Amino acid sequence: MDFSYTEVQQMLQDSVQKFVQKSYDFDTRNEIIGSETGYSADNWQLFAELGWLAVPFSEEHGGLGGSAVDLMVIMEEFGKANLVEPYTATAVLGGSLVANLATGEQKETLLGGIIGGELQIAPAMAEPNGRYNPASVATTATADGDQIILNGTKIAVENGPNADTLLVSARESGEIRDVEGISVFAVEARSPGVKIRKYRTVDGKQAAEVTLDHVSVAASNRLGDAGAALPGIESALNRSIVAVSAEAVGALEVLLQKTVEYSKTRKQFGTAIGTFQALQHRMADMFIQCQLARSIVIMAAMSLDSDDSPAEKAKAVAAAKSRVGKAIKSVGQEAIQIHGGIAMTEELDVGHLFKRVTALDLAYGDGDYHTQRFAAL
Amino acid sequence: MNADFTAEELAFQEEVREFLQNEFPTDLKAKVDASVRLDKDDMVRWQKILFKKGWAAPTWPVEYGGTGWSHTKTHIFATEMGLYGAPEPIPFGMKMVAPVIMAYGSEEQKQRFLPEILESNVWWCQGYSEPNAGSDLASLKTAAVREGDEYVVNGSKTWNTLGQYADWIFCLVRTDNTVKKQEGISFLLIDMKTPGITIKPIVLLDGFPEVNGVFFDNVRVPAENLIGEENKGWTYAKVLLTHERTNIAGVPRGKRRLKALKRIAEETEDGFGASMLENASFKQRLAEIEIELQALEYSELRTLAALSVGKAPGPESSILKIVGTELAQKMDEMFVELAGYNCLPFVPEQFEPGFDGDAIGPGDSASAALTYFNNRKLSIFGGSNEIQRNIITKAVLGL
C-alpha cells in the first residue's frame, strides 16, 4: 500500500505550483475575470505547451496516460489557485465525452484540437428541468435526410461564451428519463439557430444558457452510435466529478490554511483570536473535514483507475461528491465566520474561494443528490 | 398558561393586515416578491406612509410620536409586516440612535433630531466598528479631541451599512486614552456633510456595496453634538446594542421564506422522477426547519411575555440572535439546493431597482446563491454568534 505520488505526478504538481506562484496571484486572477473573454488565452497556450491539456487522455489518444489520480493532482492545484480557465469543460468533461463516444476520425480532429490548445469545448448537458440526471434529456434530435435537427434549451453551459464547439446531448427516441435514445452531437457554436446567452458565474467563470432552434447538423457530427451515448456520458461525468472534487479539496485546504494564519494575527481582547479554544476546536474540525474529503477523492480516483465495474465506479464517485459537499459547507462557512466581516468583502480572496467551492458543490450534482444516488446504486 | 391574543389584540392584527393590503405599495410588493433590492426612495416612501398612519415608530413612547403599543401589539405588527414582506424601518435612526437620544440626549437634541427621524426626513448610519475593533468593540481608536466648543475627529469606521444614503452618522469615539478602554469612549453625532469625511464603498460577496468605510480627517464637530456626558459613551452604546437585537429572531420572515421553499420545492424536479417536495431527504430537512422555527417562535413569545410584565431583555436575546440567524442561513442553503444551476449566473443588476432587461433564471432561484453569500453576515454582525455564546456562558451559566 502506498499513497505517495509517483515521480511523474510529483513533477506535474511542481509544475502547476510554479505556474500558480509566478502567474496566478489574486490580482491577476481578478484581471483575467474582468477581461473580455474571462479567461487567459496565453495561459491556455501554456497549458498546452506544458502538456496539461493532454493529462486526461490515454496514450492511444495522444495523451499522457489519462489516469484519474494524475487529474486529481492537477485539479487540486487549480483549486488552490481558484483558477478560472475552462479546463474541466474543455479537457475533462468535453475531452472525455469525445474519448468515450467518438469514432476514430472524430477523435483525431477533436482530441487533437483540445490537446493542442486550439479548440475550446462547451459540454451542453443540463436542462432547465433535468436537475443533475444526465438521462433527463428533453432536447430533441430529429433526422431530416442526412441532417439532424436539434431543438431544446441547455443551461449552465460552462465555457459556452468562448467555445468553438458545443457537445450537445439530445434525445433521438424514447421518453424523458429513458436510458436509451440519447446521442451527443458536436455543434459549431456559430451555427445558425444556436443562441448563446453568456454570463459570468458567481465564482468568476464563463457560462451560458444555450437555446437550439432548428439547428441543423450533419449526421456525421453525432459522436458514435445513435441513441447509445448515456454510458459514455456517465463515465465522462464520473471523471469530471472526481476533477471538481479534487479542485474543491485544494480550495478547502487554502481556506483552512488562511483561516489558521488569520487567527494567529487578528487580535481582539488583547490577544490573537487563534488562542481562543472555542475557535481552535472549530479549526481542528475544519482540518478533519479537509482530510476526509481528500481521502474519499483519492478513493474515487483510484476506483476510476482500477478495473472496478461501472456500478462500483459510479458508487465510489457518488460517495466522493457527497462527502466533499459536506466538507464544502462546513469548511467554507467556518472560514468566513472565523475571519468575520473582512471575509464578506470582495477584497479578500477567502470570499472568492468560498464562492468557488459553493459552485463546485453544485457542479454535476450537489452532496445530497449524490447521497441519494449512492443509496440507490 | 396560554399563548392566546386578547380580542383587542386580534382586532388589531386584523387592522394591520388590512392596512398592509391596502397601503403597502404594489410596486414595492412586486419588488420584494422578486427579490429586487429596495432603494432609498422606496424605503423612505414606505416609512412616510407608516408615519401618516401614526405607525412609524412602534417602539417609541407616545410623547415622541410613537404608538405607545404594548410589547404584544408591537410583536403583532412586526409579525404581520414580516409575513407580508413589508420592510421594517431602516433601524439606524428609528431603532438605534433614537432610543439613545431619548434616554441620554438633551432637550434640545431631542427637539432637533427625533421629529426628523420619525418623519424619515433624515437618514442615519452607524459608526461603531473599526478595522481593528470588531467583536472587541471597546478597543476602538477613532479619536475626538476637544478644541474650544468643537471636537476634532480623526480615524476610521467600517461596516457602515448603507452609509452612502446617510445624512448623519452616530459614532463611538475615544475621548480619553488614559483610562480603562470602556471608560474613555463618547457618543457623538456627526453631520455627514462636514468637511474631512470621506466614504469608501465596500463591495460584499453578492456584488453590492452594502457597507462602507468612513474616514475622518480633522473633522470639526460642534461640542453640542455630544450625547450625554463625555466618556460615558460605552454605557449608551450598550443600550443601543440591546435594541439592535430585538426582532433579530426573524420568525415572520422565516415563515414567509419557508412558504417560498415549499412552493419552489413543488416546482422543482429532484432528478429521480419526483418533485423536491416529495423527495424524502428534502422533505425531512424541510420538516426540521419548520420545527426549529416553531421552537424559535415560542422562545420569542416567552421572552415577549417576560417583557410584558416589565422584565428587561437579558441574555434571552442572545438565544434569539443565534438561533434566528443560523436558521435563516440553513434556509439559504436550501434555497441554493433547490436552485441548483439556476443560481450560478452572476447578474446582480437584475436585482437592482430599474433593471428592465431580460432576467436569467427564475427570480427566487436566481438570487439564491447571492443571498446565501450575503447572509453569512447574519452570524457575524450585531455581536457575532461567538460573542452571543460568551454572553450566555457568562450571564446565564455563570462560567
Instruction: Give pLDDT tens digits for B317-375.
Output: 899 999 999 999 999 999 999 999 999 999 888 877 777 777 777 767 889 999 999 99
Write the residue in A199, A204, A267 that is nearest to B347 by C-beta: A199
A355 neighbourhood in chain B, CB within 8 Å: 205, 369, 373
Question: Which of B267, B344, B372, B386 to mutate: most A Cβ within 10 Å?
Answer: B344
> What type of residue is A289?
Q
Residue B287 and residue B372 in one domain: yes
Q: B203 vs A118, A342, B35, B165, CA distance in Å?
A: 37, 11, 19, 15
Q: Are the beta carbons of B271 and A133 separated by less than 8 Å?
A: yes
Give A-chain residues touching B272 at CB under 8 angstroms: 133, 372, 376
User: Residue B126: CB partners within 8 Å, gap ≥ 6?
Assistant: B92, B96, B160, B161, B169, B170
Residue B380 is placed in which grid cell?
A: 457575524
Shortest Cα–Cα distance, B66 to chain A (Å): 34
What is the average pLDDT value for chain B, to the nearest integer?
92
Are the C-beta atoms of residues A11 and A64 closer than 8 Å to each other?
Answer: no
Which domains are assigned to chain A?
7-119 (1.10.540.10), 122-228 (2.40.110.10), 231-376 (1.20.140.10)
Classify residue B11: in a domain, yes or no: yes
Segment A5-62, tens digit of pLDDT? 999 999 999 999 999 999 999 999 999 999 999 999 999 999 999 999 999 999 999 9
- CA-to-CA dists, residue A322 to A361, B317, B340, B389, angstroms: 9, 36, 15, 31
Same domain, B392 and B292: yes
Which CATH number does the domain housing residue B328 bear? 1.20.140.10
Shortest Cα distance from A330 to chain B (angstroms)? 12
Q: What is the mean pLDDT of residues A55-77?
A: 95
Asked if the Cβ–Cβ distance from B345 to A199 is below 8 Å, we say yes
Same domain, B54 and B145: no
Closest residue in B to A131 (Cα) is B271
> Does residue B152 belong to any structural domain of this protein?
yes
Tens-digit pLDDT profile for residues B266-286: 999 999 889 999 999 999 999
DSSP string for A54-114: GTTS-GGGTSS---HHHHHHHHHHHHHHT--S-HIIIIIIIHHHHHHH--HHHHHHHHHHH
B382 with B268, same domain: the answer is yes
Last residue of a domain, which of B177, B200, B231?
Answer: B231
Residue B244 is among the residues annotated as catalytic for this protein: yes
Is B236 a domain residue? no
Model confidence at B243, pLDDT cuts 50, 70, 90, reads low
Judge contact between A233 and A184, C-beta under 8 A.
yes
Decide if pLDDT at A254 tops 80: yes
What average pLDDT does the structure give for chain A?
97
Do B283 and B322 fall into the same domain? yes
State the pLDDT at residue A310: 95
Instruction: Write down the pLDDT at residue B306.
Output: 80
Q: Judge whether B105 lies within some domain.
A: no
CATH number at residue B191: 2.40.110.10
Answer whether A316's CB lies under 8 Å from A303's CB.
yes
* B175 domain-assigned: yes
Picking from B67, B88, B109, the residue at the C-terminal end of a domain is: B88
Residues B175 and B34 in one domain: no
Question: By CA distance, what is A125's nearest residue in B?
Answer: B341
CB contact under 8 A, A155 and B342: yes
Same domain, B366 and B298: yes
Structural domains counted in chain B: 3
pLDDT single digits (tens) A194-215: 999 999 999 999 999 999 999 9
Residues B251 and B224 in one domain: no
Candidates A156, A177, A358; nearest CB to B273? A177
Partner residue facing B341 (CB), from A126, A279, A355:
A126
| Interface touch B345/A365, C-beta < 8 Å | no
State whether residue B202 sits within 8 Å of chain A by CB.
yes
The Cα of A194 is separated from the nearest Cα of chain B by a number of Å equal to 17
pLDDT of residue B242: 66
Q: Is residue B107 part of a domain?
A: no
Query: In this predicted structure, what is the pLDDT of residue B162?
Result: 93
* Helix (H), strand (E) at residue B185: strand B185-191
Q: Which of B88, B130, B230, B244 is catalytic?
A: B244
pLDDT for residue A376 is more than 60: yes
Shortest Cα–Cα distance, B271 to chain A (Å) = 5
Which residues 11-50 of B are in CB contact (within 8 Å) with A? none
pLDDT at residue B244 above 60? no
Residues of B in contact with A354 (CB under 8 A): 205, 373, 376
Q: Do B344 and A269 touch (CB under 8 A)?
A: no
Range of B268's domain? Answer: 247-396
- Residue-wise pLDDT for B186-221, tens only, equals 999 999 999 999 999 999 999 999 999 999 999 999
Q: Minimal Cα distance from A368: which residue of B?
A: B281
**Res B183 pLDDT > 60:** yes
- Flag whether residue B208 sits within 8 Å of chain A, measured between CB atoms: no
- Average the pLDDT over B155-175 and give the result: 96
Q: Is residue B114 part of a domain?
A: no
Last residue in a domain, options B202, B231, B260: B231
Do B299 and B367 lie in one domain? The reply is yes
Look at the block and give the residue holding cell 455630544: B226
Q: What is the pLDDT of residue B313?
A: 66
| Angle of CA points B6, B11, B13, to nearest 5° | 95
pLDDT class for B246, splitting at 50, 70, 90?
low
For the segment A295-318, the average pLDDT, to the nearest whole number, is 98
Mind listing the pLDDT tens digit for each residue in A346-361? 999 999 999 999 999 9
Statement to judge: residues B144 and B24 lie in one domain: no
Whether residue B268 and residue A199 make contact (CB cut-off 8 A), yes or no, is no
What the block records as the C-alpha cell of B327 is 436558521
Examine residue B328 and state whether it is found in any structural domain, yes or no: yes
Contact A345 B381 (CB under 8 A): no
Confidence (pTM): 0.95
DSSP string, B119-150: TT-S-EEEE--BTTBSSSGGG---EEEEETTE
pLDDT in tens, A150-171: 999 999 999 999 999 999 999 9
Q: Does B274 touch chain A (CB under 8 A)?
A: no
B73 and B16 in a common domain: yes
CB B168 within 8 A of CB B124: yes
The residue of chain A nearest to residue B329, with distances taken between CA atoms, is A333
How would residue B16 be classed by pLDDT, with cut points 50, 70 and 90? very high
B381 touches chain A (CB under 8 A): yes
Task: Clarify whether residues B253 and B385 are in a common domain.
Answer: yes
B176 touches chain A (CB under 8 A): no
Q: Is the confidence at residue B308, as pLDDT, over 80?
A: no
